[in-house]
Every structure is written in structure tokens, then in C-alpha cells.
Amino acid sequence: MGTFTDRYLVEPGEKVRLADFDPRDTKPFGGDKDEGRARVAKLNARLEELQEALYAEGRHRLLVVLQGMDSSGKDGTIRSVFDGVNPQGVKVACFKKPTPPELAHDFLWRVHPHTPACGEIAIWNRSHYEDVLITRVHELVNETCWKRRYEHIRAFEALLADEGTTILKFFLHIGKDEQRQRLQERIDDPKKRWKWNKADLEERRHFDDYRAAYEDALSATAAEHAPWYVVPADRNWYRDLVISEVLVATLEKLDIRLPPGDPGIEDLKVT
């Protein structure tokens, strides 16, 4: 029994071509923006319940990886999709330019401490994938190194999965023209100007290189236990909808149950 989000799932072994995915896609949902937003609100309420149960049960762990080019909406996703979720039990880790101590270790060293514990959801805003993306595009490491890292990523995610972590990876797929508009807004709109970073323009020059790097990374690391979704991200409401649908469906499948109270507690009288 599939849902409309299945079409965004990368099959393990599949060679991803991003040109096959329309970043403006919204049709598969079958509703308009208002209907989409209403559906996201419903999913959000369900997500709150499921997260509370996950936390109370303390058995499952969920890792959500968010990747995407500048302005693709990673921050917005966290704000909208996880709106109102109990922050105790949901940890967000944001991976920016590595610090000298981070660079002095292997590339998984800085992410490993941020994996979710039992009962937790960890959301990674960027991740270990940067080490096969920006490092590749800017030739900070050679090809032998970034290719070898695919294998290390697969092994690392297999470790997490084998030891009990559910993994979901979302690539926020934005079109080149949409990115242009969003960056322009950060210049034109005084309220968005705080987001402006002149490095974004330089990164934008490498747009096609990043797409190629993403295609390879997604193809090399999509696994049944660590799936990638290519999320159409030109429309914020649709991006939130797709991610919320996948999250809720995944948590529902975990069959989380609130732990039973102590036996006999129903007869207890507090005096």
C-alpha cells in the first residue's frame, strides 16, 4: 500500500537523475496549497503524539537527515514540520564549516555524538554528506577520498540501523531559478537580509557541480535501512507535506506503544 510520497523514494542501487524529478511538483497530492497546509497541520498533531509515545517508550530512535543546497528550505522544514513537538526528546544538530578539532579527526567523528539515543528523534541540518559534497565540489579532498567515503557512510548507517536506529534522509530539491529568486529576496527584503551570505553567490556558481555530487551521493548511499527521498522543494507547503507524510508513516510502522503502568497500579490510592 503505497502513498503519493513513494515516487520520491530513491530505490537502493538506482542511479539518480535529478532531471527526472520536478522541483515544482505538487500534483501527486491531488489538492491545492490550502488543502496541503491543512493536511500538514493534521500530520503535525499526529507527529506530536507519536513523538511523545516514542519518548515514553524509550525503545526506538529516529535519525532525520536534511540536505539541500542553499535556500532549499532546511531551516524552514525544521520550523514547520516539527512545530510544537516536545523539544525534550528532539535534538537538532546543525553541521556548519568544520572547526579545527573536527578537521583533525575522521569525517564521521563530529556527527556520531549527535545520533539519537533510545526514545529520541535527532534532526541533522546538513550532515556527514557535506563531506562528499562541498569537499568534492571545492576539491578539498581528492576523488579517491570522497569515493571511499561513500563506503564509510554506508557502513556507518548500517551500524546505526543494525543497532536500532531508524534513518530517513531527505534531499530538498530546489530548482536553479527558484534559488535565484530566494537569494534575491534575501537582498531585497529587509526582513530576510539577515539570512544573506555573500558566500551563497559563490556557491551558486557551482550549482551544476553540486547537482552532480548529489546525484552520486544519493545513488551510492540509498539503502532500505537508510532511504533517501528527493523532495520537490520549490513549493514550501508541498515540501513540508511530503516530509510530514513520510515521517508519520515511518513512525506509525514502528508500532510504538506507551509502556504499561506498574501492575496493580490501578488499585493504588494516593493518600
Pick the stretch among 10-18, 23-31, 115-123, 212-220 that binds a second copy (CB under 8 A): 115-123
Please identify which residue in 2, 101, 190, 260 interacts with a second copy, judged by CB under 8 A. 101
Do the strands 61-68 and 165-173 form a parallel or antiparallel pair, or are they unpaired? parallel
Angle between helices 33-57 and 74-81 (to 10 degrees): 70
Distance CA 243, CA 8 (A): 10
Given the complex with a second copy, which of 118 and 187 has the nearer CB atom? 118
Smallest distance from a second copy to CB 156, Å: 7
Pick the stretch among 106-114, 183-191, 217-225, 239-247 that binds a second copy (CB under 8 A): 106-114
Given the complex with a second copy, which of 61 and 136 has the nearer CB atom? 61
∠237-16-60 over CA atoms, to 5°?
60
Distance CA 231, CA 124 (A): 16
Given the complex with a second copy, which of 172 and 220 has the nearer CB atom? 220
User: Is position 67 an interface residue for a second copy (rule: CB under 8 A)?
Assistant: no
Please identify which residue in 152, 186, 192, 195 interacts with a second copy, judged by CB under 8 A. 152
Given the complex with a second copy, which of 72 and 221 has the nearer CB atom? 221
User: Is position 118 an interface residue for a second copy (rule: CB under 8 A)?
Assistant: yes
Given the complex with a second copy, which of 9 and 134 has the nearer CB atom? 134
Per CB under 8 A, residues contacting a second copy are 58, 61, 101, 104-109, 112-113, 115, 117-119, 145, 148, 151-152, 155-156, 158-160, 162-165
